[in-house]
Amino acid sequence: MPANYFPDDQCLFFFFTCVTFLEHSNLDMVLKTELRLCTLSSSEESVTVPLLASVLQALAILGELNTKLKFFSQLLLNYILKPLVIYPSLHAQVETQPQGVILRFENVETDQEHPPPADVFLKLKLVLELIHKHLLDVNVEDSQRGDLLSKVILAEVLGDMIWEEISETIIKDCLVYSIPTNSTKLEQYEEVIKSTEEFENALKDMKYLKDATELLKYARNVNAHFASKKCQDVIVTARNLMTSEIHNTVKITPESKVIVPKLPSPKGSEKVKGSKNPTEETPALENEVKLGQHTFSLPSCRISESVEKLMELAYHTLSEATASNKPCAIQLFYTVRNIFHLFYDVVPTYHKENLQKLPQLSAIHHNNCMFIAHHLLTLGHQFRYHLPTPISDGAATFVDLVPGFRKLGTEAFLAQMRSQKADLLERLSSAKNFSNMEDKENYIAAHKAIRQVIHQLGCLGKVWQDVLPVAIYCNAMGTLLNTAIMEMISKIAALEDISTEDGERLYTLCRTVIEEGPLVFTPLPEESKNKKYQEEVPLYVQKWMKFKELIIILQASLQEIVDRWADGKGPLAVEFSTNEVKSLIRALFQNTERRAAALARIK
């Protein structure tokens, strides 16, 4: 103890020679901390014990006892008791000397991040027993009264000073980490409750404590703490998964399933209400049509690995709820619901920029949302009859979340589609409206625009390949190709004059789209399997046949156009209106009697 801590009074000086700290404020030096308890005086050994009682009595008379004990308690807390709780490797070592005892720290290497409660209690008990034996086991009378009721029990005084703070430290740095993370380990926690109770009883015997404390109450309330800790861990894990990279994907197929631990059979009234006796089954209907094995399965696509883990987390948390007591089960169930509410709020915000800029990520996000929505349809039903009331009475459902997730995925992907459409139209805007193709610069600009459109579609076809379900892939690519085709049709149909050379060059540009457009449909990695979808382009591109009719018109004679019109019943009449055909005829052909006759037949 530094010299400036010593009072001038002889009694106070004697007290501090009996209790001496060698303290270190640096945590790295905590191993050098010492507590010295002087049990014998170097000059008058035989009178030390009564002298200690006399000194403490003198401090009480002077009104200094509480002040000095308070100072001592803070040193004891900060340099001895708290470090023993916080650091698993710290152990107390007692050395007995002729003039007293010395308590030192020793370092015992351990892999434990947090000390077990039983070990902490043993270490604290050793220190408190030492102090009680060599310092506090004396009687002191209150300075105000002299009767028997005024006796001061020093252990009680010190206990009142240190207990609240040390118990908070034990809970925060020890007991919290001993709470099981799995309901199957709850029974093992009885050992912690037992050791906590034994620790408190030992302190009561030494008069440090009077009644049951928050420490034992905390340990006994393990079920509530388990539920709170489990729910907190689940939410933290879920959020970490939501903020991880989206582009790390896994392939799911109709055969893919989330592995769930086997659930116990429902008992009594908890039995599935829809179950029937096999002998009472409804007879088969005539001409009964059986659904396919994968009728209600999610189509093959890629989802984020983190979302697959998130869904597994939800399933396993609900599985654990089925094996927990009622309050815990209810809390775990609503924690799973909170996972999906959190996804709805976190993912679109955290990944907003990437979802807007990167087509592949928007497609994966779309799949993620559909994957979650697909499982939410039946998630509650799978666990309903294994959960306590009132959840099993109908509250165990996630179906209400399904529309929101479908909307979340659809909106993100549609926003990407709008962005891609805008890019396509911007590229086509540099084609000079496809007018005056006789001019070399105009033709080069139009040709470049067409090449850019094909290139953009090709890139999208690659980044969405094996990511989107085939049907959605083809519809998305078809919609974008249709956007480009509609823009070309509208610009060409609006031309007032198309020379022969213009017509030939326009025909060449349109043929490029017809020949290369289907090649961007590559939903599968295996090229041989994509031919089927390339041949089905008219199914996905709404204006494909109209575009082909336009190409025919650009190379056709007046008679061929009239023949394809066929009095409003031919293939040309299916795709073009009367006014559109007449406008094209006027642009392609000079004003002659033959043109007038042809126009007259277009009606």
Q: What is the pLDDT of residue 148?
A: 39
Least confident of 51-65, 239-253, 457-471: 51-65
- For the record, the structure tokens of 589 come out as 């052909």
Q: How many CB atoms lie within 10 A of CB 292?
A: 8
Q: What percent of the chain has pLDDT over 90?
A: 46
Q: What is the pLDDT of residues 146-155, one digit of tens each?
A: 443 345 678 8
Are residue 456 and residue 314 in the same domain, yes or no? no
pLDDT tops 50 at residue 434: yes
Query: What local confidence, expressed as pLDDT, does residue 24 receive?
Result: 44
Give whichever of 55-69, 111-125, 316-330, 339-353 has the largest mean pLDDT.
339-353
Which has the higher per-residue pLDDT, 493 or 184? 493
Distances from the Cα of 371 to the Cα of 25, 376, 493, 579, angstroms: 55, 9, 44, 48
| 323 vs 292, more confident | 323
Q: Residue 231: pLDDT above 80?
A: yes
For the ranges 270-279, 287-296, 529-538, which has the lowest average pLDDT?
A: 270-279
Q: Do residue 245 and residue 335 come from a single domain?
A: yes
State how far the Cα of 373 lies from the Cα of 398, in Å rounded to an integer: 9
28 domain residue, yes or no: yes
Q: Tell me what the mean pLDDT of segment 95-124 comes to.
A: 83
Whats the size of the chain, residue-wise?
603
In a domain, 269, yes or no: no
Q: Is the pLDDT of residue 510 over 70?
A: yes
Q: Are residues 40 and 153 in the same domain?
A: yes
The answer to the question of residue 599 being in a domain is yes
139 and 58 share a domain? yes
CB 477 within 8 A of CB 415: no
Q: Flag whether 45 is in a domain.
A: yes
pLDDT greater at residue 504 or residue 65:
504
Query: Do residues 236 and 383 both lie within one domain?
Result: yes
In angstroms, the first-to-last Cα distance of the chain is 112
**334 shares its domain with 446:** no
In the predicted structure, residue 387 carries a pLDDT above the cut 90: no
Confidence at 2, pLDDT banded by 50, 70, 90? very low
The span from the CA of 348 to the CA of 567, in Å, is: 54
pLDDT of amino acid 582: 93
What is the model's pLDDT at position 52? Answer: 65
| Residue 508 sits in the same domain as residue 576 | no
Q: What number is the average pLDDT over the span 477-500? A: 95
Q: Work out the number of other CB atoms within 10 angstroms of the CB of residue 236.
A: 10
What is the spatial distance between Cα 338 and Cα 318, in angstroms, rounded to a whole number? 13
460 burial type by CB count under 10 A (0-12 exposed, 13-18 middle, 19+ buried): buried
Residues of the domain holding 485: 435-544
Final residue belonging to a domain, choices 544, 566, 591: 544
Residue type (1 letter), 549: E
Please give the Cα distance from 168 to 470 (Å, whole number): 59
Q: Which pLDDT band holds residue 17 (cuts at 50, 70, 90)?
A: very low
Task: Give domain status of residue 287, yes or no.
Answer: no
Do residue 127 and residue 216 come from a single domain?
A: yes
Are residues 87 and 121 located together in one domain of the fold? Answer: yes
Q: Are residues 469 and 397 in the same domain?
A: no
Q: Which positions ≥6 away from 229 have C-beta within 8 Å? A: 176, 179, 181
Residue 423 lies in a domain: no
**For the residues of 414-448, what is the DSSP string, one character each?**
HHHHHHHHHHHHHHHGGGGGG--TTSHHHHHHHHH
Q: Is residue 429 part of a domain?
A: no
433: left (phi over 0), alpha (psi -120 to 50) or beta: left
Query: pLDDT-derived band of residue 9, with 50, 70 and 90 as boundaries?
Result: very low
Instruction: Please state which of the ranges 212-216, 416-420, 530-534 shows the lowest mean pLDDT.
Output: 212-216
pLDDT band for position 430 (50/70/90)?
very high
Q: Which residues contact 597 (CB under 8 A, 6 or more apart)?
A: none
Same-domain status, 373 and 521:
no
The number of domains in the chain is 4
Q: What is the mean pLDDT of the chain?
A: 83
Q: Are residues 400 and 490 in the same domain?
A: no
State residue 212's pLDDT score.
Answer: 63
Backbone angles phi, psi at 161, to 5 degrees: -75, -35
Residue 390: asked if its preceding bond is cis (omega within 30°), the reply is yes
Identify whether 278 is part of a domain: no
Question: What span, in angstroms and rounded, lies between the C-alpha atoms of 337 and 317?
Answer: 11
What percentage of residues in the chain have a pLDDT greater than 70?
A: 82
Residue among 131, 201, 209, 199 at smallest CA distance from 171: 199
Mean pLDDT for 183-209 is 81
